[in-house]
């Protein structure tokens, strides 16, 4: 944004173009920085960003293209090379979000896994982000952003000598930033080393392969897309996956619910890491059993819930918002043990209203 202010001063309403599979952090940044996110569709079979749609979404206000390596939701790498070529053609910056998987993917490539290029070897990529606390197994609070050259980095740095206090110069948004997570990250990176990470990646990828294969053998479930690494999601046309998550929770497993979109069904997400390697067989056994339980149980009245949500939306008063919360089972400061009903209601709401409901709930906590 700051680069655009100086180099493209004619832009008064800057925009970034990103697929719907991109992380919510981009929307949060746009909200804070006054930038408009222009969301494009993804291929409903591969879950990769639609490059033609990205091309069509570019306007004279576009300042940045965004893609993922991989996207969190389905573990799929976007067509980075094609988007890089588009960025060069249009003279735009192109950021690759490799926060969740960049380190893991790098060692997969060193081990010979057939992966598409996603880094600075791709012409057009101008910046890459990666979190050390995810598949780098370091402490939270340590991430890196890499730029193709220092002419881009300078816009991240802020300096101020305009006050009576000391000179302020910050390379990040945080002024007071602990060195603890960075020191811990350095220690972990050096302790594990290249051989350690390669060993971890081999073991984790094998566990993910077994899980994906095992889920594929459960007739009621299907894995979405073709995951490039050890993160994936699965859906069902037979049972309510939100109820399945609740049943699995009773057995000590947390499967993350992800809402439906016009191009994708509701689904459950799994991230496989070093800490979950020993649970593959037990998880698959419980998953098969819980699928059977949900299949034999009384299903949630999805049609009635959506009808009631629609009725409340016809006259969206403060009372209606409270009634929506009550319909979802959100009352007081404690959430219910089972989340299926909450997820069902939130999934039925338009995004802006589900966001509003969540904000109102959190704003009422501890008041």
Q: What would the DSSP string read from start to end of 324-340? A: HHHHHT-BTTB--S--H
The whole-number pLDDT of residue 240 equals 96
- What 3-state class would DSSP assign to 65? strand
Say if domain 195-238+253-295 classifies as CATH 3.90.550.10. Answer: no
Asked whether the beta carbons of 269 and 255 are under 8 A apart, the reply is yes
The whole-number pLDDT of residue 304 equals 75
The whole-number pLDDT of residue 316 equals 65
Nearest Cα neighbor of 70 from 144, 111, 19 is 19
The whole-number pLDDT of residue 238 equals 96
- Bridge-partner residues for 145, per DSSP? 129
Nearest Cα neighbor of 175 from 158, 161, 154, 162 is 158
The whole-number pLDDT of residue 121 equals 97
Q: How far apart are CA 147 and CA 177, in angstroms?
A: 21
Q: How do the domains of the chain map onto residue ranges?
A: 2-155, 195-238+253-295, 302-364
The whole-number pLDDT of residue 147 equals 97
The whole-number pLDDT of residue 180 equals 92
The whole-number pLDDT of residue 308 equals 72
Where do we find the tokens 């209601």? 345
> Splitting the chain (367 residues) into consecutive groups of 10 residues, what average pLDDT does each group show?
89 97 97 97 98 99 98 98 99 98 97 97 98 94 94 95 95 87 94 98 98 98 98 98 98 97 97 94 98 92 73 67 68 75 86 82 77
| CATH code for the part of the protein at 2-155 | 3.40.640.10
């Amino acid at each position: 944004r700051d680069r655009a202010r100086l180099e493209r001063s004619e832009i008064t309403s800057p925009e970034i173009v990103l697929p719907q599979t991109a992380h919510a952090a981009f929307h949060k940044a746009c909200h804070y920085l006054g930038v408009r996110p222009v969301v494009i569709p993804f291929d409903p079979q591969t879950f990769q960003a639609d490059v033609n749609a990205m091309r069509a979404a570019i306007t004279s206000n576009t300042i940045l293209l965004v893609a993922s390596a991989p996207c969190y939701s389905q573990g799929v790498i976007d067509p980075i090379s094609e988007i890089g070529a588009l960025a060069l053609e249009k003279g735009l910056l192109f950021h690759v979000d490799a926060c969740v998987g960049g380190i893991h993917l790098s060692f997969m490539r060193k081990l010979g896994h057939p992966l598409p290029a996603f880094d600075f070897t791709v012409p057009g990529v101008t910046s890459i982000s990666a979190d050390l606390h995810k598949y780098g197994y370091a402490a939270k609070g340590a991430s890196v952003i890499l730029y193709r050259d220092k002419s881009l980095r300078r816009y991240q740095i802020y300096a101020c000598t305009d006050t009576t206090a000391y000179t302020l110069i910050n390379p990040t948004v945080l002024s007071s930033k602990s060195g603890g997570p960075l020191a811990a990250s350095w220690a972990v990176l050096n302790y594990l080393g290249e051989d350690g990470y390669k060993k971890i990646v081999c073991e984790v990828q094998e566990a993910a392969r077994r899980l994906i294969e095992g889920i594929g053998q459960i007739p009621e479930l299907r894995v979405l897309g073709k995951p490039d690494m050890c993160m994936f999601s699965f859906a069902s046309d037979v049972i309510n996956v939100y109820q399945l998550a609740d049943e699995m929770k009773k057995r000590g497993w947390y499967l993350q619910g992800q809402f439906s979109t016009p191009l994708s069904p509701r689904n459950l997400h799994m991230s496989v890491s070093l800490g979950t390697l020993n649970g593959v067989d037990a998880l698959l056994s419980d998953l098969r059993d819980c699928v059977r339980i949900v299949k034999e149980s009384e299903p949630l009245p999805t049609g009635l819930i959506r009808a009631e949500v629609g009725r409340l939306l016809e006259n969206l008063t403060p009372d209606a918002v409270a009634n929506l919360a009550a319909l979802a089972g959100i009352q007081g400061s404690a959430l219910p043990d089972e989340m299926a009903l909450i997820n069902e209601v939130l999934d039925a709401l338009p995004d802006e209203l589900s966001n509003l409901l969540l904000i109102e709930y959190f704003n009422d906590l501890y008041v």
